[in-house]
Amino acid sequence: MGWRLGHGDLLAVHDDAFPTIVRAWSGAELELAGEGTHYGIVRCGPARLRADAGMFTLRDGMWFALPGEGAIGGDGDGLVVTALHHAALFALGGPLEDTGRLRYIDGCTDTLLAAPARLGDPCLNALYFPPGTDQTAHTHPSLRAGVVLSGRGTCRLPDRVVALEPGLAFVIEADAVHAFATTDDPLVVVAYHPDSDAGPTDESHPMITRTLVGGVPASELPAIRTGS
């Protein structure tokens, strides 16, 4: 399940509905090929992101979504998860806030960092586990890949308990039963999801639903909805 952040490939999943490559960088530059979209999080910076749009310096807790070729590196370390055959929007963000914007299970919170541009697209999330968390055992319908940014805790699996500490990268396979827990310390994790059941569609997005024609949202007008 877990690896200390080093440099290079950690895991490649090709025989899956969502082919994914998980990589890390530490101290040196990691080349990113034009094979999809690279979702990255800087655990310890500064890091330098090279993209078609230019060179960007990222500090601790900043994230990026990079479609196509580029490179990431610097004095610190971080994680990159590549969604093969997917083209997202180029984006930068962070640093992370102290708590999440959205409620999650068992008193935890979540912030959607790199949001899906369309329904079903990949996304990047920051998960916040307060001290004393004893999460309900659960599964996800697709793999999760991420890294512990700060704090300590455990991940309970059916056959073992994995200690979570800063700099641990992890992959949780689809449908794997697991639960996170903390004692005295909070825990902050950034996790990549290859799919999402939320996001805009042609029929429902803020521009079309908040465009009113005679007081009626354009999304409810058949001629406008079909583009005819």
| DSSP assignment string, 162-174 | EEE-TTEEEEE-T
How many other β-carbons are positioned within 10 Å of the β-carbon of residue 201?
11
Burial readout 77-109 (b: 16 or more C-beta within 10 A, e: otherwise) = bbbbbbbbebebeebbbbebeeebeeeeeeebb
Write out pLDDT tens, residues 51-100: 999 999 999 999 999 999 999 998 899 999 999 999 999 999 999 999 99
**Cβ neighbours for 226, distance < 8 A, ≥ 6 positions apart:** none
Q: What's the rounded mean pLDDT across residues 190-216?
A: 94
Spatial separation of the C-alpha atoms in residues 73 and 121, rounded to whole Å: 26
Write out pLDDT tens, residues 136-145: 999 999 999 9
All structural domains of the chain: 2-93 (2.60.120.10), 102-193 (2.60.120.10), 203-228 (no CATH)
Which pLDDT does position 106 carry in this prediction?
97
Question: Residue 149 forms beta bridges with which residues?
Answer: none
Residue-level length of the chain: 228
Which pLDDT does position 1 carry in this prediction?
67
**Cβ neighbours for 107, distance < 8 A, ≥ 6 positions apart:** 130, 133
**What percent of the chain stands above pLDDT 70?**
97
Write out pLDDT tens, residues 7-23: 999 999 998 899 999 99
